[in-house]
Amino acid sequence: MTTTAAGPLTAGADADAPAAPRRSRAPLDPRLVREVHAARRHVALTVALGLVQSASIVVTALVIARLGAQLLVEREVPEGTPGLLLVLVAALAVRAGAVLVEEATAHRAATEAISELRGRIVVHAARLGPRAGAGRGADLTSLATTGIENLRPYLVGYVPQLMLSLTVTPLCLLTIYLLDPLSAGIALFTLPLVPLFMILVGKLTVGRSERLIADMRSLWAQLLDLVDGLPTLRALGREKGPEKMVRTLGDRHRSSAMGSLKYAFLSSMVLELLATLCVALIAVNIGMRLVYGHMDLAPALAVLVLAPEIYQPLRNVGSQYHSSTDGLAAVGAAFEVLDEPAPADGTVQAPALRGATLRLRGVSVRSRDGFAPHRAELEVRPGRVLAVTGASGSGKTTAVQVLLGLLEADQGTAEIVAADGAVTDVREVRRRSLWEQVALLPQRPVLPPGTIRSVLLGARPGAEQAELEAAAAATGLDAVIAERGWDADLGRAGSGISLGERQRLALARAVLSSTPLVVLDEPTAHLDGATEQVVLDLIETLRGEGRTVVVIAHRSRLVETADEVAVVEAGR
């Protein structure tokens, strides 16, 4: 999964690990700020609130030091100067208020940014077509589901702290310099050690977190695969044993994660070390000068209050390190998907398919090892039945996807020849206007949720009961209905019924729809052998209605019934 579903790594999510210096990746992704409005506004607001917090920290320190010095030196109790006491309370209250506003607006910004990016990813992936997920495995889905949620800790936790380190740290340092230049010198001496040690630790961890993430992804994919295959493992009587695999996978991940974290946590150690060391050095230094009367008490107390504040934002940034890497990884992955050019929708209205011919000319689509199909030629003439055949893996389904404008060919063209002879490239056609005229039955049909009746009615709204019954009888669905009834709930995506029954239901939907072109992808694949007759009869019915049929088939009888046969081959 993205870093996300990444599983256990995220158990290290709040690790205090600034780890490696951010090679090649800015802590704020410029595209995020540029393209996502909510993120841009959020950054501006956090800078402003950072300045407010800096001011109240400095005021708090100065007033406490002043009150303390008054008390010890002049024996003047704090309630003797109520104005100062009031300023102190106000400064502390302003700081609390700024924190409140910052946190609340950060959540709102994160919600907007996540919502926007998820929507864009899903829409874009759908436009990319059948192969959008190819080569990404579970990554695309996990990005759209959980991965993108990583923006929340990034925007809520990391970005504000980053902005505080740009405001609080320099302002506290400046105040210390004005009070006591020597202390500022100590702080300035330890501060550059932070990047120095970070680089050293970074050299130690180089490549480790990438390896960890890759490792985690593959382990997660394997675990998911085991879970997906659980029904199969049970059918094979092998469901006992894989849990050992789950533990082994988990233990492997844990030891690899701890191996990385060992080094990653070094950087948090260095940060904590330098922060406390700086305070300790300043305290001892001030103490020594006070003993010899080389310094006044008030600035000494103020410096002591301010010293830890220099490092506090840096430490918080460090503790949010994983939020930043996970968030930036999600942003990167999101823009990687969005940057992939989607086939543009055409602008031309598709010609009426009832009189049009669809054809492929020399169409090749790249596959794992060459092309499938390779230089496919086929012609779908109106009112005719075309069988597309070829060996397994030759690209029959892919060829038809190109024909329907679902996928762009790497070579060759798909065209529609209208009744009047006008030729249009499928890529120029407004897809919706084409698909409205097509009923597609994929190998594993996807049905809308609902009952048998509502699913059938979806194909022809307002159909009479008699029409539904006729369609059910024509596809052998009547047997299923006799057993389960018209109002049997199919669950989501037809998961409540078998693949064969789903296929019959999809066939009945094709009968009920009145589209001029019907595409059947291996329609007998999940039916008993002799139900082939149902499909053959169905094709006859469609032919009788003057509808065009494309049938992807292995079976000789299906091929025999066709008016024309196109053979698709793979090639290199």
Partner 1 sequence: MSATPAAPVAAAAPAALRRAERALEIPPARLLAAVLAGCATLGSAFALAAVSAYLVTRAWTMPPVLDLTVAVVMVRALGVSRGVFRWLERMLTHDLALRGVVSLRTNLFTALAARRDDALTRLRRGDLLARLGDDAQELGDHVIKAVVPGIVAVVMCVAVLATFAPLSLSATATMLAALLLASLLAPLAAFRAARLTEQAVVTTRSDVSARALEILDDATSLQVDGRLEAALEELRAGQSAHDAAIDRAALPAAIASAAVPLTMILAVTGSLLAAGTAWLDGGASAGQIGILLLLPLSSFEAATTLPAAATQYARSRAAAQRLEALVGPAEDATATKPAPATALRPASAALRAVGLSAGWSPERPRVRALDLDLPPGSRLAVVGPSGSGKSTLLATLAGLLAPLEGRVELDGHALARLEADQVRSRVTMFAEDAHVFATTVRENLRVVRGDLEDAQVRAALDAVGLDDWIASLPAGLDTMLGPDGTTISGGERRRLLLARAVVRGGPVLLLDEPTEHLDTARGDQLLRALLDPGDDALVPEGTTVVVVTHRVEAIPHGTPVLSLGPDAAARLEESR
Which positions from 151 through 190 interact with partner 1, judged by CB under 8 A?
Answer: none
Whether 194 and 274 have beta carbons less than 8 Å apart is answered as: yes
Q: Give the pair of three-digit tokens for residue 276.
A: 């406390």
CA neighbours closer than 13 Å in the CB half-sphere of residue 421: 0
User: CB of 93: closest distance to partner 1 in angstroms?
Assistant: 6
Choose, by CB under 8 A, the member of 32, 58, 59, 125 that binds partner 1.
125
Choose, by CB under 8 A, the member of 246, 352, 419, 423 that binds partner 1.
246
Residues 497-526 that bind partner 1 (CB under 8 A): 499-500, 522, 524-526
Which residues, including other chains, have CB under 8 Å from residue 421's CB and lie 6 or more apart? none
Q: Is 118 in the site for partner 1 (CB under 8 A)?
A: yes
User: CB of 26: closest distance to partner 1 in angstroms?
Assistant: 26
Q: Is 68 in the site for partner 1 (CB under 8 A)?
A: yes
Choose, by CB under 8 A, the member of 23, 26, 30, 75 that binds partner 1.
75
Q: Is 563 in the site for partner 1 (CB under 8 A)?
A: no
Nearer to partner 1, 222 or 421 (CB): 222
Quickly tell me which residue has 């084409």 as its tokens: 434
Q: Is 355 in the site for partner 1 (CB under 8 A)?
A: no
Q: Give the pair of three-digit tokens for residue 71.
A: 């008390």
Choose, by CB under 8 A, the member of 33, 51, 55, 233 that binds partner 1.
233
Give the x/- contact pattern for partner 1 in 14-33, rule: CB under 8 A.
xxxx----------------
In angstroms, rounded to a whole number, what is the distance separating the alpha carbons of residues 113 and 420?
50
Choose, by CB under 8 A, the member of 448, 487, 545, 546 that binds partner 1.
448
In angstroms, rounded to a whole number, what is the distance separating the alpha carbons of residues 286 and 275?
17
Choose, by CB under 8 A, the member of 35, 215, 239, 428 that binds partner 1.
239
DSSP bridge pairs for 358 = 380, 416
> 372 burial class (0-12, 13-18, 19+ CB within 10 angstroms)?
buried
Choose, by CB under 8 A, the member of 27, 355, 411, 435 that binds partner 1.
435
Determine how β-strand 411-417 pairs with β-strand 423-425. Answer: antiparallel
User: CB of 68: closest distance to partner 1 in angstroms?
Assistant: 4
Nearer to partner 1, 23 or 368 (CB): 368
User: CB of 206: closest distance to partner 1 in angstroms?
Assistant: 19
Choose, by CB under 8 A, the member of 33, 43, 55, 85 that binds partner 1.
85
User: CB of 339: closest distance to partner 1 in angstroms?
Assistant: 18
Nearer to partner 1, 362 or 491 (CB): 491
User: CB of 277: closest distance to partner 1 in angstroms?
Assistant: 4
Q: Is 492 in the site for partner 1 (CB under 8 A)?
A: yes
User: CB of 421: closest distance to partner 1 in angstroms?
Assistant: 26
Whether 500 and 475 have beta carbons less than 8 Å apart is answered as: no
In angstroms, rounded to a whole number, what is the distance separating the alpha carbons of residues 398 and 418?
23
Q: Is 286 in the site for partner 1 (CB under 8 A)?
A: yes
- Closest alpha carbon to 257 in 195, 322, 323: 322
Whether 371 and 534 have beta carbons less than 8 Å apart is answered as: no
In angstroms, rounded to a whole number, what is the distance separating the alpha carbons of residues 94 and 174?
21
Q: Is 342 in the site for partner 1 (CB under 8 A)?
A: no
| Region of residue 362 (phi > 0: left; psi between -120 and 50: alpha; otherwise: beta) | left
Q: Give the pair of three-digit tokens for residue 187.
A: 């702080």
Choose, by CB under 8 A, the member of 254, 336, 349, 540 that binds partner 1.
254
Nearer to partner 1, 93 or 422 (CB): 93
Q: Give the pair of three-digit tokens for residue 173.
A: 């340092």
DSSP bridge pairs for 370 = 367
User: CB of 30: closest distance to partner 1 in angstroms?
Assistant: 25
Q: Is 235 in the site for partner 1 (CB under 8 A)?
A: yes
Q: Is 393 in the site for partner 1 (CB under 8 A)?
A: yes
Which residues, including other chains, have CB under 8 Å from residue 418's CB and lie 6 or more apart? 351, 352, 355, 356, 424
- Closest alpha carbon to 7 in 186, 168, 224: 224
Q: Is 225 in the site for partner 1 (CB under 8 A)?
A: yes
Neighbours of 84 (CB within 10 A): 16
Choose, by CB under 8 A, the member of 220, 311, 321, 371 that binds partner 1.
220
Q: Is 427 in the site for partner 1 (CB under 8 A)?
A: no
| Region of residue 79 (phi > 0: left; psi between -120 and 50: alpha; otherwise: beta) | alpha
Q: How far apart are the first and last CA of the chain?
A: 33
User: CB of 246: closest distance to partner 1 in angstroms?
Assistant: 5
Q: Which stretch binds partner 1 (CB under 8 A): 39-47, 271-279, 348-356, 377-385?
A: 271-279
Q: Is 442 in the site for partner 1 (CB under 8 A)?
A: yes
Q: Is 534 in the site for partner 1 (CB under 8 A)?
A: yes
